[in-house]
Amino acid sequence: MSTAPPRRWDIFCRVIDNYGDIGVSWRLARQLAHEHGAAVRLWVDQLPVLRALCPEVDVNAAVQSVQGVRVLPYAEGADYPPPADVVIDAFGGGLPPAYIAQMAASAVKPLWIVLEYLSAESWVREHHGLPSPHPQTGLPRYFYFPGVAPGSGGVLREADLLARRDAFCATEDAGAGVNDRRAWWAARGFDDVPADAITLSLFAYPHAPWRELFSACEQGASPVVAAIPEGPLAAAIREACRLGQSRRVQTGNLELRFVPFVPQLDYDTLLWASDINFVRGEDSFVRAQWAGQPFVWHIYSQAEAAHEVKLRAFLDVFGEVLPADSARVVRNLWLAWNGVAAAPPLASAWPEFLACRQAQRQGLRLWREKLLELGDLAGNLQHFCSGLVAKK
């Protein structure tokens, strides 16, 4: 007997800070709606943050449909409609008590999924998919871990992502993509980048050692163009270097270009148009992996340096697709960029990183195959929930 997959999904997202919590929730919501025919409601406590990723969002609307998803405000003490079949508690931010009460009162109990943070740590395999009934109500609740290794939930990937990425990059390789790149820059009011320049996209937290990076680029052998999206890092650079509102600054062999923070749907094209991507948090980190260009992860800092364990765990797994020497070089630069004690100086790590870009690109092709074998997070989640519903 086949059971229909759960169709109605509620995703609850509390924005802790920045864009990652809502960035992942929004991407998941869209994908469930577009690719799995799900009726998705996304409850979010900070609509202006979602609006930065999706300018169609009306921050004053009580209910709205955006790109096939119902978007509603998540507020404590509000009245909630009957629950959906599956309820996602994004990053364990919690569900409103009034909503939990409705879940508990439902004749058919909804599935409660705590969607955790992405991690490459080995313990994820043992915890992924484990049941953990809600202590007060006994509601069925499960922990679901995104990941990059077998035994995890995989990472988000829209069905058409790689075809779009490959089309963009194939024309780049053939030289015709210069037009795409030129158009990308023209749309943001800039000339095309010089043909011999290395282009960086630079998305990181403001405490990143950008001064060291800039100084290495200024003195480097090749011209470098750094695209810096507006935000706290751009503001910190402007202030420290007294750049005012300049959009373009040349210093030695480095050109800084301050670009607007683009809607999430356009962010991939910035990655595809860049030779090296500096990314952070969770969602941009995953997008850089799919983009296939050498990348540098600025991990979100946690208490007691827990993030360093997470960083090293990823480097261990990722290093398996790289030649040993390139794996060492990538590790050195990532540790330096993350300010890890005893990391080699960025000034020496950077030129070595540049020198092994080709090996990194090759490794990233293998990495892509490995990620593809895991399936994608939305599809895996859907499959997982269908299995649980069928067992009921």
Catalytic residue list: 21, 282
Which residues, 6+ apart, have CB-to-CB distance to 363 below 8 Å?
A: 318, 321, 322, 323, 326
- Which H, E and C letters describe 279-307, residue by residue? EECCHHHHHHHHHCCCEEEECCCCHHHHH
Is 262 one of the binding residues for ligand TRH (CB under 6 A)? yes
Write down the least CB distance from residue 222 to ligand TRH, Å: 24
Q: Which of 93, 151, 162, 261 binds ligand TRH (CB under 6 A)?
A: 261
Identify the bridge partners of residue 10 per DSSP, sorted by sequence position: 41, 87
Binding mask 24-53 for ligand TRH (x = CB under 6 A): -----------------------------x
Is 203 one of the binding residues for ligand TRH (CB under 6 A)? yes
Q: Position of tokens 């795409």?
A: 180
157 or 388: CB nearest ligand TRH: 157
Q: How many residues does the chain have?
A: 392
d(CA 341, CA 184) in angstroms, rounded, equals 38
Phi, then psi, of 295 in degrees rounded to 5: -140, 160
User: Would you say 377 and 28 are in contact if contact means Cβ atoms under 8 Å apart?
Assistant: yes
Q: Give the neighbor-by-neighbor strand order of the sheet with 295-298.
A: 248-251, 254-259, 224-229, 198-202, 276-280, 295-298
144 or 203: CB nearest ligand TRH: 203
Please choose, out of 136-144, 186-194, 263-271, 381-389, the segment that lies near ligand TRH by the rule CB under 6 A.
263-271
Helix (H, G, I), strand (E, B) or coil at 263: coil
Total interface residues for ligand TRH by CB under 6 A = 23
Judged by CB under 6 A, the chain residues 273 through 332 that form the site for ligand TRH are 280-285, 300
284 or 326: CB nearest ligand TRH: 284
Binding mask 85-124 for ligand TRH (x = CB under 6 A): --------------------------------x-------
Please choose, out of 13-21, 29-37, 66-74, 363-371, the segment that lies near ligand TRH by the rule CB under 6 A.
13-21
What is the DSSP secondary structure assignment for residue 320, as one 8-state letter? G
Q: Which of 6, 23, 110, 147 binds ligand TRH (CB under 6 A)?
A: 23
Q: Which of 11, 13, 14, 19 binds ligand TRH (CB under 6 A)?
A: 19
Q: Which of 18, 137, 253, 362 binds ligand TRH (CB under 6 A)?
A: 18
Alpha helices in 144-291 (DSSP H): 161-173, 178-187, 210-218, 232-240, 264-272, 283-291
User: Would you say 384 and 375 are in contact if contact means Cβ atoms under 8 Å apart?
Assistant: no
Cα 369 from chain centroid? Answer: 19
264 or 326: CB nearest ligand TRH: 264
Binding site for ligand TRH (CB under 6 A): 16-21, 23, 53, 117, 203, 229, 261-264, 267, 280-285, 300
